[in-house]
């Protein structure tokens, strides 16, 4: 197996990843500060990614290897686990089972964990009209992990949207795996803004809680739509924000009239909460 080892991470060299794909990489992953790009044959690479090294490695079952390394992830009252670690969830914790696959959101990224912790800190079961449970909108749902966490934490229903159609059946399957019925967690392809989809719950044009694990520039673009889709005073939970990009998000929230802005940091990642 031919692997090109490039120093850096998928985040720090995000701009170079397209060059690797364009050069014929069949897969990319990151381990211990090195990007591993898999190729079928050696090829000339552009100078921007010329600081790496070609290596022939013994074939290995990488998926099995990856699965062996997974551990339960504790996030507030929730523990996120792959199906084969379900029995390892401690008593008193809510198990959230996610099959690692094509959609982002296994709980192993700091931003997912931060967002589940923030949802866990909200009293989702007693928010909403007459305290019957929060109506939660999850923008950029991926594996559905945040919408499913909200439903498990007592939300009346959670609605997950994503622009990537591949995520929708995965999120639905994960909800079903967690015993969350379609009436409590729905998933549709879509987004906010110009291409906003029509929300299936017709009586709902504003949600009690909005959570979005995207990135700072997109939060800046969507901040007005976040305000439009939240009830007055409703909590907004944003992550996927690199700490260096926090000023952009702060400014967007101030521009759109959000208050009570609070930040939680985890390494290079930040989570921001605010109220509409
Ligand atoms: N919510 C999951 C989590 O917290 O682990 C997945 C978050 S993942 C970082 C971001 C997801 O947002 C991806 O599935 C991506 O397809 C989706 N996405 C990107 N831009 C979007 C947009 N403008 N509207 C809706 N979803 C978007």
CATH code of the domain containing 13: 3.30.70.1170
Does residue 116 contact residue 149 with C-beta atoms inside 8 Å? yes
- Nearest atom of ligand 1 to the alpha carbon of 222: 23
Of 75, 106, 162, best ligand 1 pocket probe by most atoms within 8 Å of the beta carbon = 162
88 and 54 part of one domain: no
27 and 142 part of one domain: no
CA distance 148 to 193: 24
Q: Which domain holds residue 133?
A: 68-275
**Phi, psi dihedrals of residue 116, rounded to the nearest 5°:** -65, -40
195 and 250 part of one domain: yes
- Nearest atom of ligand 1 to the alpha carbon of 192: 24
Residue 131 DSSP one-character state? G
214 lines ligand 1 (CB under 6 A): yes
159 and 53 part of one domain: no
ipTM topping 0.95: yes
53 and 94 part of one domain: no
Nearest CA to ligand 1 atom 17: 140
CATH code of the domain containing 248: 3.40.50.150
115 and 215 part of one domain: yes
Residues in the chain: 276
* Total of domains in the chain: 2
CA distance 95 to 265: 24
Nearest CA to ligand 1 atom 14: 142
Per-residue pLDDT of the chain (276 residues; tens, 9 = 90+): 899 999 999 999 999 999 999 999 999 999 989 999 999 999 999 999 999 999 999 876 767 777 777 899 999 999 999 999 999 999 999 999 998 877 787 888 999 999 999 999 999 999 988 888 999 999 999 999 999 999 999 999 999 999 999 999 999 999 999 999 988 999 999 998 766 666 565 567 789 999 999 999 999 999 999 999 999 999 999 999 999 999 999 999 999 999 999 999 999 999 999 998
28 and 84 part of one domain: no
CA distance 36 to 18: 14
20 and 133 part of one domain: no
For residue 163, the CA-to-ligand 1 centroid distance in Å is 7
Which of 113, 218, 111, 208 minimizes the C-alpha distance to 158?
Answer: 208
Give the pairing type, strands 209-213 and 135-139. parallel
């Amino acid at each position: 197996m031919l692997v090109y080892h490039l120093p850096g991470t998928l985040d720090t060299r995000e701009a170079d990843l397209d060059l690797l794909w364009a050069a014929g990489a069949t897969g990319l992953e990151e381990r211990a500060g090195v990007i591993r790009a898999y190729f079928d044959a050696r090829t000339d690479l552009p100078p921007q990614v010329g600081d790496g090294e070609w290596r022939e490695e013994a074939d290995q079952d990488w998926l099995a290897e990856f699965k062996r390394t997974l551990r339960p992830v504790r996030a507030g009252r929730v523990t996120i686990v792959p199906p084969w670690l379900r029995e390892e969830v401690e008593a008193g914790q809510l198990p959230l089972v996610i099959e690692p696959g094509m959609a982002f959101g296994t709980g192993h990224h700091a931003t997912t964990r931060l967002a589940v912790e923030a949802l866990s800190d909200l009293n989702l079961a007693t928010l909403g009209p007459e305290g019957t449970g929060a109506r939660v909108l999850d923008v950029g749902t991926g594996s559905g992990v945040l919408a499913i966490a909200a439903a498990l934490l007592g939300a009346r229903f959670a609605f997950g949207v994503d622009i990537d159609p591949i995520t929708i059946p995965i999120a639905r399957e994960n909800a079903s795996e967690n015993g969350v019925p379609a009436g409590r967690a729905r998933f549709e392809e879509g987004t906010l803004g110009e291409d906003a989809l029509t929300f299936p719950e017709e009586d709902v044009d504003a949600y009690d809680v909005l959570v979005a694990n995207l990135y700072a520039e997109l939060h800046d673009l969507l901040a007005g739509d976040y305000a439009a889709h939240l009830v007055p005073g409703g909590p907004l939970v944003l992550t996927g924000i690199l700490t260096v990009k926090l000023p952009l998000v702060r400014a967007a929230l101030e521009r759109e009239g959000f208050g009570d802005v609070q930040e939680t940091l985890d390494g290079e990642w930040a989570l921001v909460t605010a109220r509409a």
